[in-house]
Structure 1
Amino acid sequence: MGLFGSHEKRDADRARRLFEEALAQQGPNVALVLRANDCLPLYITPNFERIFGVSPERIGDDIETLYRFIPDSDRIRMQRQVRDWDRATPLNLLCSYHAPHGEKSQLSMRFTISLISGGTQYLVSAVDVTTENERIAKADSERDRAVETANARTDYMNQMSHEIRTPLNGIEGMISLAREHHADESRLMDDLSRASQLSAYLLSLINDMLDMSRLNSGRVRIDGAPFDMRLFADEIERMFSSQAADKGLTYSVNLEDCENVFVVGDRMRLSQIVINFISNAVKFTERGGSVTVTLREMYQADGGVSYMLRVRDTGKGMDPRYVSKIFKPFEQEDRTIARRYGGTGLGMAITSALVELMDGEIVVDTEPGRGSTFSAYIPLRLATAAQIESLKLKEQTLETACDSIGSSFTYQFEDKRFLLAEDNEINAMIVIELLARRGAAVDRAENGQAVVERFRSMPAGTYDAILMDIQMPVLNGWEAAERIRGLNREDAGAIPIIALSANDYTEDVERSRAAGMNGHVGKPIDLNVLKAQLAAATAEAAYRGNE
C-alpha cells in the first residue's frame, strides 16, 4: 500500500506540476484556479501582476479586487452574466480594465470561466485582447473608409450621369424645337444658340472630368515656359470683362509690386487656377457687387519668385467650417447651390490638385454674407535675359503682343485651299462646310498615308495649309506630318500644318510641335482659334522665307 500510495502521490504531484507549467506557458494570457464554493484563489500564474498591475497576494485576500478596476457599466454586466451562467459551458466575458500600473494603463480583456475538477473549481483565463481589438478597430476603420470611398465613387458617377444627361437632354430638345421652328428664323436661331450654350457647358464638364481623372492618376505634368505676367493679367481681364459687365459687377485685375514680370511657369495651368477662382466669384456675386483680381510678387530668392494670385468678391460667402470640403469633387455647401448657380463641383478640386502639383498653397478667407477671398501662392522661376529676348522676338510681351493679337484675326479663309486629313465622315463634313461658307476650298484625305500621297502628288504651292487629324488609320497625324516634312520638295518644310485633335493636353501639343506641326487646335474646333494659329503659322513661314 505504501508503495502504491507513494506512486499515486508522485503521479499527482507530477500532474500538478505539468498543469502549472502549461498555465505558465500561456505567454500574455493569465489563468487563475478558484475554489468554487468561495472563489478562493488556489493558483495564479506568475505573469498576473505584470498584466493586471495587482499583486497575487492582494487577490488572494479579496477576489473582488479585480472588479474595482473594471468600469461600472462592464462590472454590472459581468456580474449579471456570472449570476445567470448555466455552468454547463464556458462563459466568455469582455470588458475594459484600468490597470493601476503596468505597460498599458487601459486594457481590453476577455475572461473565460470554466468549471473543472468535477465542479469543485473554476478555471478563469484572461487574455489581453487590446492589440487584437486595435487591429479590429483599424480594419473596421479601413473598411469604413473603403465603403465611404465606394459610396463617394457611386455618388460621383450618379452626379456625373445627371450632369451629362441634363445638357444632352437640353441639346436634343433644342434640336427638336429647331426642326419645329424651321420657318421662323428668329426662333430657329434662338434654339440653335441655346443648343450651342448647352454644348459648350457639356464640353467644359467633360474637360473637367478628364482633368480630374488625369490628376488622380498622376498623369498631369507641370511644365515651365517663360511668359510675361503683365500679358497674363491682360488676358485674364479681357476674358471676364464682358461677363462681369453683363451681370452688373465691378471687375478689375491689378498687378502689385511686380518688379519681375518675366517668369517661368506653366502658364496654362496658372490660368486654369485663376479662371476657376474668378468663375466662382462671378457666379456667387449678385448685381452691384465686385470681383477684384490681384497678382502680387511676394518675394524673390535663389533665382525664383513667389507670386500671389488672389480673387476677392463681395458675394454670398460661406460658412468657414465648410472650407475644408470645397476642394473635394462635387462638394457644395448645400444642395441648392447646383440648382441655383449651376456648375459641376469639380473646378475647386482641380484647382487644389494643380496648386499642390506646383508646390503652392491655397488660403481661403470667407464669411456668410461678406464675400470670399481665394489666394494661391505659387513659386515660379525668373526668366533669363535670353528667354526675355525670345519672348520679344515672338511678340509675346505686353509691348509687342497687341500687334500680334490684332494681326491674327486679319487672316482670311477666302480663296484659300486646304488639305484636310480626317477619317471621320461627320467631322470632315463639318470642317469642309464651315470653311466653304467662308470662301475656302477643302480637299479631303481619309487617313495619314492618303494625306502624304495627296500632298506629294500635287504641285508645290497647291495648298495654303494642311489641317491634320491625329487619330487616323494607316498613319496617325504625327507620323504623317513627319513624312511630309521629310519630303524632298520646296514647300514641304514651309507649308503650315495645324493639328486638329480631340486630345488637347500639354503633352499632345508638344508632340504635335515635335512632329513638325505649327499649331494644335482642340476639338470641337473654334474657328477663331484656328484662324489665329493659321495667321501665326503663315507669319512664321514668311519670316523664315525672308531670312
Structure 2
Amino acid sequence: MIKATFFPFNKIWPLQERAMPKMDDSKNRTGIDGNEAVADYEYHTLMRLLGVSVSKHLLDENYTLVWANDYYYRLIGWPKEEYEARFHNRPDLYYANHQKQWNELVETVTSTIKADRNGYNLVTTMPRKDGSHIWVNISNVFSDEYVNGYQVSYTVITNIDDQIRMQKEQSVTYDNLPGFVARFQVNEEGFRFLGANERFRDFFDSSEQEGLAFGLSNVNTEKNRRVYLQNFSRMRRGERVHFTLQATDKTGGNLWFQVNANCIDWINDNPVYLVIYIDITDITEQRELQRQLEERSVMLHDALQTAERANRSKSEFLSRMSHDIRTPMNAIIGMTAIAGTHIDDRDRVKDCLGKITLSSKLLLGLINEVLDMSRIESGNLAITEEEFCLNDMLQNLVTILQPSVMAKQHTFDIRAHHLRHENVIGDPQHIQQVFLNILSNAIKYTPAGGKIMFDIREKPSNTAGYGLYEFTFEDNGYGMKPEFIEKLFSPFERADDADVLAVQGTGLGMAISRNIVKLINGDIKVKSTYRKGSTFTVELPLKLQNESSVDYCLFMKNAILVVDDDRIACETTCERLDELGIRNEWVLSGEQAIQKIAEKHQSGKDFSMVIIDLKMPKMDGIETTRLIRKQIGSDIPILLASAYDWMEYESKALASGANGFLVKPMLKSALAYAIKKHAMKENEHASVVESSRQKRDYKGKKVLLVEDNELNREIAEVILAESGIRVETAKNGQEALERFMSSSEGYYGLIFMDLQMPVMGGLESTRKIRSLSRKDAQIVPIVAMTANAFREDVEAAKTAGMNEHLAKPLDIDRLHQILDRFISR
C-alpha cells in the first residue's frame, strides 16, 4: 500500500470521466470527419509504434490505472478486456500474488514523495499472465494534473529483459575466468569501482558499490603506490597495462596478483577498464624471500660494521678512561709517597694532601660521569621536583668554579636580565650539573686570561604557572670545528685538536647534559667558531613557587650608585633597584665614581649607598673604595660586588673601608637584604656566611656508626670525633640492632648506617629498629652512609625508615649539614 499522508486515499476517480475516444473500425480511415478524430487516430497509432508501455495512473492507495496503450497489455500478456474484468484497473490486485515486487514499487513511490521529487526510475521484474517474469525499467513522472483530488502520474515501462539476461550471462562468464574480474573507470582523481564478478567480491569481502579502499587493491603499501604512479598516466590514455600488486583476503592473509587491464569503453572522456587479477602468490613469495635474504644480508653487514665501530669506540673510551683515571690515581699515589717521606715537613705534607684531595675529586667526577651515562642509557635517570632559589644555585656555582677560574686568571661575569621570579621548582642538582659541565669546559678550553660570560634571562612563558629561563654561556676559547659540533653531544666524543688533546675529560659531559635538559623538557643549542670561542644556550621551563606577596619596596631618601666597567652589569643591577623602588645612577669606572660621589657630597645630597665592582681595569674596587673614604669619610656604606668568592680579598677590602660584599649576579632578594643591613641598618638577621663560619661543636652527643669496611669506618670515626662527637661502632646491621636494643632510650642521638653489609644489611636493620616497641625507635635519626648513590637507593633507604642519605665518598659540608639538622637541637 502507498502511504502518503497528504493524499485523500478514500476517493477513487471514475474512469468514465476521462476515457479516451475509440475509432470506428467500420468507417473508411480516409473518411474520418473532424480534426479531433484525426488527432485521436494519430495519437493511438504513435502509442502502438513506440514499442514501450505508456500508461496513466492516479496516486491513490491502489495506484489506479486510468489509461494504457496496447503495448502495456502485450507486455503483461493480458488482453485489455480480461485485465479490466479481473483486476478492475487496480495494480494492487494485479500484484496480489507478487508482494515482493509490489512492496518494492510502493517503497519507491513513497520515498519519491517524501523526498519531494517529481518522479522516479526503477529497474525491477514484472509478472506476466503465463507465470513468467520479465525485467523492465519503469520511468515515472508526477504531473501537475489532479482528478478528484488525486495527483496524476505518467509511466513509461521499457522491456529490458534481453539486456539483463545478457549481463547475467556475462557475469557467469566472469565467474568462470581464471581469476578475479572487475571494472574500473579511471578518472583524474583515481580509480572508480564499477562492478566485479562474484569471486572478486567474495575474496575482497566487497559489495557491488563499495569497491576497494586503495585504488585497484585493498592495502596501501609503498610498492603498490609506486606501481600506481608508474601506470596511472598510461591508463588515463587507455593503454593496455599489466603489473603486480599486493593485496589481502578477508582473513588478513597476504597475496600477490598479476594484474592485466584493458580499456573496454569510455565514459565522459574517462577510460573504463576490465581488470583481471591472477594469483601469483607462490612465485612472488619466493621472489620476496630472496629479496628479504638479500636485505638481511645487507643488514647483517651493516650491523657488523656498527658493532665494530661500537667496539672501537668502547676500546678508545677505555683507553681514554685508563689514561684519565691513571692521571689522578698517579697523583694520589705519588703525593702519598712524597708525604710519607717528608712526614716531618708540615708545609710539604699539607701541599701533598691538597693535591691528593684535588686528584680525588677529579677521579670521583670521572666515575660519576660514567655512572650517569650508564643510567641515562638504561633509562634509569629520574628527574626530581623540589623548591630552590636561583640565587643559591648561582652562589654554589661561583664557589665551585672559583679555584679553576682563578688558576687560569679568567674574567668571569654572571649577569641577570629581567629576572622576575627567583624561587622555582625543579631539579637543582641536575640543572647545576649541566651548568657545571658547560662552564667547566669553558674554563678548560679557554686559554689563560680568557673571558667567560654567563647570562640568565627570564622570557615570557606560554604555560601558566611556569617561567621560561634562558641560560647563555659564552667564552672566547679555542672553539670547535664544524665537523666536531655535529657529534658534540654523542657519548665518548672528544675533539682531536692539538690545542686540546692535553685537556682531561671523558667525552661524556655534554652527552649527559643534553639528556638531562631533554628530560626537563628543555633545549640546548651551541654555536662555535674555531679559535674564536663558543656559545651554549640552555632553555628550561621551571615551575614557579607559590610565593606569598613579599613587599621589597624600600624607601630611601637618596639614590644608590652602581660602579662597574661592564655597561650591561650596571643596567641589570639598576633594573633590580628600580624593581625595589630605589632611585639609582651608574658609572663605568672608579675615576667617574669618585668624581660623581664628590659632586653629590659637595651639594649635600650624598648617595645612600655605593656598589662597586671588585675587578675593574686601571682602578679596581678596593682602590676606588680607599680613595672614596679618603675624600668623603666613612658615612656612606660601600659594598664590593664580584662573581668570585670574596674571601681572598676580604682583609684588603675591609682595610680599604668596604662595609660588605655582594656576589654577582645581584638578584632582587640579595640586594634587598644588603640594603636593609648596610643602608637601613636593619641587622636583626645574622649573616648566613658568618653563621656558617662558626666552629661546630657537638660535645656530649653520641652517634652509632655502622660500617663493615674497616678503613671507611676509621675515616668516618675520625671526622665525627673531631667535632666533639662520641662515636660507637658496629660492623653490620645485626650488631647495630643489638647495640641499640641494649642501650637506654635516647642514648644515641644519630645512627649512620651503611646499606650493604654481611650478616644483616642496613635496610633490614633499619626496619627492625623502627619496629621495636621502645619510644626512641621511631624518632632516632637514621642516615644512610653508603656508596649506593643512585636515586633508587635513596628511595629504598627512605622507604625502610631512614631520614637522610649521605653518599660516599663523604662530602664534609653535607655531613655537617646533617649533624646540624639532627643533633644540634
Interval of TM-score (by shorter of Structure 1 and Structure 2): 0.5 to 0.7
Of 411, 428, 438 in structure 2, the residue corresponding to residue 277 of structure 1 is 438
Give the letter for the 2:468 counterpart.
S
1:171 is aligned to 2:332: yes
Q: Give the aligned partner of residue 237 of structure 1.
A: 398
Q: Give the aligned partner of residue 493 of structure 2.
A: 331
CA deviations on 1:147-198 (whole Å, 9 max, x unpaired) are 2112212222222223223322332222222222223333233333322222
Q: Give the aligned partner of residue 445 of structure 1.
A: 730
Give the letter for the 1:453 counterpart.
E
| 2:313–2:492 Cα contact (<8 Å) kept | no
Question: How many matched pairs?
Answer: 408
Q: Give the aligned partner of residue 761 of structure 2.
A: 476
Q: Give the aligned partner of residue 347 of structure 2.
A: 186
Of 748, 768, 788 in structure 2, the residue corresponding to residue 463 of structure 1 is 748
1:519 is aligned to 2:804: yes
Q: Give the aligned partner of residue 310 of structure 1.
A: 472
Q: Give the aligned partner of residue 816 of structure 2.
A: 531
Of 502, 510, 515 in structure 2, the residue corresponding to residue 353 of structure 1 is 515
In structure 1, C-alpha distance between the alignment counterparts of 2:362 and 2:332, rounded to whole Å: 11
| 1:408–1:536 Cα contact (<8 Å) kept | no
Q: Give the aligned partner of residue 419 of structure 1.
A: 704
Residues 14-163 of structure 1 correspond to what in structure 2 (within 5 A)? Answer: 136-163=297-324
In structure 2, C-alpha distance between the alignment counterparts of 1:509 and 1:403, rounded to whole Å: 32
In structure 2, C-alpha distance between the alignment counterparts of 1:167 and 1:339, rounded to whole Å: 17
In structure 2, C-alpha distance between the alignment counterparts of 1:226 and 1:485, rounded to whole Å: 29
Deviation of 1:473 (Å): 2.9
Could you say what secondary structure the match of 1:524 adopts? Answer: coil
Higher mean C-alpha deviation, range 414-423 or range 335-344:
335-344
In structure 1, C-alpha distance between the alignment counterparts of 2:697 and 2:485, rounded to whole Å: 49
In structure 1, C-alpha distance between the alignment counterparts of 2:298 and 2:726, rounded to whole Å: 71
Q: Give the aligned partner of residue 286 of structure 1.
A: 447
In structure 2, C-alpha distance between the alignment counterparts of 1:237 and 1:186, rounded to whole Å: 28
In structure 2, C-alpha distance between the alignment counterparts of 1:537 and 1:520, rounded to whole Å: 13
CA deviations on 1:304-341 (whole Å, 9 max, x unpaired) are 33222221112222223321222223322216466532
Could you say what secondary structure the match of 1:340 adopts? Answer: coil
Could you say what secondary structure the match of 1:491 adopts? Answer: helix
In structure 2, C-alpha distance between the alignment counterparts of 1:466 and 1:509, rounded to whole Å: 16
In structure 1, C-alpha distance between the alignment counterparts of 2:752 and 2:726, rounded to whole Å: 12
Q: Using structure 1 for the length normalisation, give the TM-score.
A: 0.67
| 1:464–1:495 Cα contact (<8 Å) kept | yes
Q: Give the aligned partner of residue 267 of structure 1.
A: 428
CA deviations on 1:316-370 (whole Å, 9 max, x unpaired) are 2222332122222332221646653222222112112212222322110111232
Q: Give the aligned partner of residue 436 of structure 1.
A: 721
Give the letter for the 1:149 counterpart.
A
In structure 2, C-alpha distance between the alignment counterparts of 1:143 and 1:521, rounded to whole Å: 44
- State percent identity of aligned pairs: 35
Give the letter for the 1:434 counterpart.
I
| 1:317–1:369 Cα contact (<8 Å) kept | yes
Shift in alpha-carbon separation, 1:312–1:383, aligned structure 2, 3 A: same
Deviation of 1:415 (Å): 4.2
| 2:324–2:504 Cα contact (<8 Å) kept | no
In structure 2, C-alpha distance between the alignment counterparts of 1:340 and 1:425, rounded to whole Å: 38
In structure 1, C-alpha distance between the alignment counterparts of 2:789 and 2:310, rounded to whole Å: 30
Select the structure that is richer in helix.
1
| 2:701–2:823 Cα contact (<8 Å) kept | no
Could you say what secondary structure the match of 1:431 adopts? Answer: helix
| 1:481–1:517 Cα contact (<8 Å) kept | yes
Could you say what secondary structure the match of 1:341 adopts? Answer: coil
| 1:177–1:191 Cα contact (<8 Å) kept | yes
Q: Give the aligned partner of residue 16 of structure 1.
A: none
In structure 1, C-alpha distance between the alignment counterparts of 2:535 and 2:686, rounded to whole Å: 31
Structure possessing the higher radius of gyration over alpha carbons: 2
| 1:317–1:367 Cα contact (<8 Å) kept | yes
| 2:703–2:751 Cα contact (<8 Å) kept | yes
Give the letter for the 2:343 counterpart.
H
Shift in alpha-carbon separation, 1:353–1:406, aligned structure 2, 3 A: farther
Give the letter for the 1:298 counterpart.
K
Deviation of 1:434 (Å): 2.8
Q: Give the aligned partner of residue 505 of structure 2.
A: 343
| 1:276–1:347 Cα contact (<8 Å) kept | yes
Unaligned runs of 5+ in 2: 1-226, 231-286, 551-668, 674-684
Shift in alpha-carbon separation, 1:201–1:338, aligned structure 2, 3 A: farther
Q: Give the aligned partner of residue 791 of structure 2.
A: 506
Unaligned runs of 5+ in 1: 1-49, 54-126, 389-396, 543-547
Give the letter for the 1:368 counterpart.
Y
Deviation of 1:131 (Å): 7.6
Deviation of 1:413 (Å): 4.1
In structure 2, C-alpha distance between the alignment counterparts of 1:170 and 1:315, rounded to whole Å: 27
Deviation of 1:134 (Å): 5.5
Shift in alpha-carbon separation, 1:472–1:406, aligned structure 2, 3 A: farther
In structure 2, C-alpha distance between the alignment counterparts of 1:534 and 1:518, rounded to whole Å: 12
In structure 2, C-alpha distance between the alignment counterparts of 1:131 and 1:489, rounded to whole Å: 72
| 1:317–1:366 Cα contact (<8 Å) kept | yes
Shift in alpha-carbon separation, 1:453–1:362, aligned structure 2, 3 A: same
Instruction: Say which structure, 1 or 2, has more relative contact order (CA 8 Å, 6+ apart).
Output: 1
Could you say what secondary structure the match of 1:222 adopts? Answer: coil
| 1:264–1:381 Cα contact (<8 Å) kept | yes
1:195 is aligned to 2:356: yes
